Every structure is written in C-alpha cells, then in structure tokens.
Amino acid sequence: MGRILKTLLYDGDISLSILDTTDIVNTAIEYHGLTPLAAAALGRTMTAVAFMAASSLKNDDDRLSVTITGDGVGGQIVVCSDSKLHIRGYIDNPRADLPLNSLGKLDVAGCVGKHGRISVVKNLGLKEPYTGSCNIISGEIAEDFASYYTFSEQQPTGMALGVKIGTDYKCVGAGGVVMQPMPGAKEESIDMAEKLLSEFSAVSTLIENGGIEGIVEKFFKDAEFEEYEPRYECNCSKDYVDKILITLGEKELYSSIEKEGKIEVVCHFCPKKYTYFKEDIDVLLGKNGSNE
C-alpha cells in the first residue's frame, strides 16, 4: 500500500502532497521483472500518476491514463489509475539498462528519452474524455509532469520524484513531493514553496530513511493532512478479455486454435494469463452444444 498526504501551506496559498510509493514500485518490479533503471522510470511515472489521480478523479467511474512516448531505451511507458487509486503500469522494455549518468545516478532520461510526448487522457464522466499533452522536457519525469501541468492544464506545479533501488534490486524508497499555488496565492508564498521544494531533491532517500512520517516530522510538524492510499492493482478480468477476443472474429479465433491448440492472452499490467481452448471459444461464440 502506498500513501499520499495532502494539506495546504502558508495560509492556504500552496497545496502540498507527499507520496510514498515504495510498495507500488516493488509490486511493479515483481510483476514485470524490472531492471533498476526501468523501475526508476516506471516508478517515477506511477508516483506522478498517483498524485494526478488523487487530485483529479472525484467520481466512482473516473479514470485516467498517461502515456510517455520518448526516444529512450525503455520505450513507451503507460500508467493508469481509477478513482480508488488502483494504479497499474508497464514499460515496453522492462530490461532497459544503461550505465549510470555523469552524476552517478540511474540514467532515467536515457531510459525515457529527451524527445517525445507525454499524453494524458482523463475520463471524468463527461461525454468526451479530457485529453492533454506536451513535449518531454528532460526525460527525468518530474520536470516533464511539472511542464505538462503548467502548459497543458495552466496549473504551475513544482514536483520532486525519486525511486531508489537497493542492492537486491528491490525498491528501498520511492515517492515524491508536489506543490501547486492555489488561485490568488501570494508571491512570497510561492517563493517559500520554491525554496522548500529544493529540500526534496533526494526525496527517495528521505523516504528510505524515515518514511513519509520522517518528512512530516522534519518539515511539516504542525500540518493536518488528508490521507489517501494508492496501491498497485490491475482491473483486468476474463470478461474484459472475452470482449476483446470476440472482436477478433470467429475465423481468426478458430484459425489460431487450429495452429496453436489454444489462445493465450497475457495482461500487459499484471502477471495474469487467460487461456482459451477450443471449447472455451465455442462457448464464447455461443456455439456450445452445436457439435453434439
């Protein structure tokens, strides 16, 4: 289970969110067999999406998905969330690997790419989904999401994200800090928020050492927080896969069965596998009993 704490700072001028997504990143590592580099890229994106979901999905059926399509070695990254903050994601190349960058850190920008687009689709119960996109700025993800908010949603945003991977390839600390000025925020509050954000350039180490409580204790002792609990959970189901298979058509389905003996569908987001034999396809197409 991850955690998000939200509050307002400086007389309500700045909204603050603190996220601990360590468990979510560890589930992603377990499901996809991620390298530390791929875990950092996907984990930072999942953290940003957890923030986005907690701040914009209000109704039961609301959901959103974010796609980052860059020219890095990791390929495309896709992360989705629903309003329960059930988050799931994948990266095209889970085995992506590069030497450490010049700062001695995981080269997330090399994994994501420095050129490309970040696209957001929000289904908010309206006729048409809300869509927005912007160019990748640095490929480090926090800056890219901050720029998405500023340019696509006209909401200035400061964001720090981090994922730290231990020697055993497990995530030892992942999370983020996000600050946004409220309408009419005073200039001095914005200045203070900018200064404060610079304290979180190593947010994953802060999470590793003291968890989210450590951050609160050190920086926001007197604040009162609203709490949310995001987690990694896939919503795939046999029903959903049934519907996709039906759209492929009878001919295609039976020809696959003839060639392979079965049809196997593996979920992109979780390790679930859906296997269909000829009898299952018969049932699916309403042909049950026709050959008796």
Residues within the interface to Zn ion (CB under 5 A): 234, 236, 267, 269-270, 272
Residue 242, amino acid: D
When the beta carbons of 153 and 242 are compared against Zn ion, the nearer one is 242
For the CB of residue 165, give the shortest distance to Zn ion in the complex, in Å. 24
When the beta carbons of 124 and 236 are compared against Zn ion, the nearer one is 236
- Would you say 64 and 78 are in contact if contact means Cβ atoms under 8 Å apart? no
- Would you say 93 and 74 are in contact if contact means Cβ atoms under 8 Å apart? yes
Beta strands 231-232; 86-91: pairing state:
parallel
For the CB of residue 245, give the shortest distance to Zn ion in the complex, in Å. 15
28, 25, 41: which is closest to 139 by C-alpha?
A: 41
CA distance 24 to 81: 12
When the beta carbons of 40 and 270 are compared against Zn ion, the nearer one is 270
For the CB of residue 235, give the shortest distance to Zn ion in the complex, in Å. 7
Q: Which residues contact 197 (CB under 8 A, 6 or more apart)?
A: 158, 160, 177, 179
Q: 23: how many CB neighbours lie within 10 A of its CB?
A: 16
7, 10, 13, 55: which is closest to 183 by C-alpha?
A: 13
For the CB of residue 270, give the shortest distance to Zn ion in the complex, in Å. 3
DSSP state of 30: H
82, 91, 121: which is closest to 231 by C-alpha?
A: 82
For the CB of residue 257, give the shortest distance to Zn ion in the complex, in Å. 23
CA distance 243 to 55: 32
When the beta carbons of 149 and 269 are compared against Zn ion, the nearer one is 269
For the CB of residue 209, give the shortest distance to Zn ion in the complex, in Å. 33
When the beta carbons of 91 and 215 are compared against Zn ion, the nearer one is 91
- Say how many residues make up the chain: 292
When the beta carbons of 63 and 164 are compared against Zn ion, the nearer one is 63
